[in-house]
Amino acid sequence: MPDQIPLFVDNYYDAIRAAIEGLGGFKRVGSDIKPDLSVEAAGRWLADCCNPDKREKLSLTELAYIRKASRKAGIHVLAAFEMQAAGYAEPQPMNLEDESAQLKRDFIRSVEALNALQARMARLGEVA
């Protein structure tokens, strides 16, 4: 693993490579993505995918795996590069516990709103 993950990279391939290095390297990440290959073969395959001169390329699902694993590990170089290249502000990782709590609050409010609507409908039915 590198001592320090770069904050800025020059191109997309460098961003992907930096994320992979931060996750433990080509063999580790390659074997996560391609468990049917040997560790060495998976590492070579992934290294080839990160070489613009090679034919092998990551699928959208494989790239999403790297992005999500990077987020979980606190490595944001890939997401930051993608956002900067697309003209967006630097990404801010969500606190998943806060997101979960917010979803629960939203759910409770929506159930309360449905109960209130049901009560109003029942009252109108009684009047009619």
- For 43-65, what is the mean pLDDT? 97
Question: Is the same domain home to 98 and 51?
Answer: no
Q: Does the pLDDT at position 8 exceed 50?
A: yes
Q: Does the pLDDT at position 61 exceed 70?
A: yes
Domain that holds residue 26: 12-86
Q: Could you tell me if 7 and 19 are in contact, meaning their C-beta atoms sit under 8 angstroms apart?
A: no
- For 61-74, what is the mean pLDDT? 95
Task: Write the pLDDT tens digit of every residue in 68-82.
Answer: 999 999 999 999 999
What pLDDT is attached to residue 127? Answer: 56
What pLDDT is attached to residue 128? Answer: 47
Q: Could you tell me if 72 and 65 are in contact, meaning their C-beta atoms sit under 8 angstroms apart?
A: no
Q: Could you tell me if 25 and 1 are in contact, meaning their C-beta atoms sit under 8 angstroms apart?
A: yes
Q: Tell me 89's DSSP state.
A: P
Question: Is the same domain home to 80 and 21?
Answer: yes
What pLDDT is attached to residue 24? Answer: 96
How far are the Cα atoms of 5, 13, 40, 72 from residue 28, in angstroms, in the given order?
A: 17, 18, 9, 16
**Within a domain: residue 59?**
yes
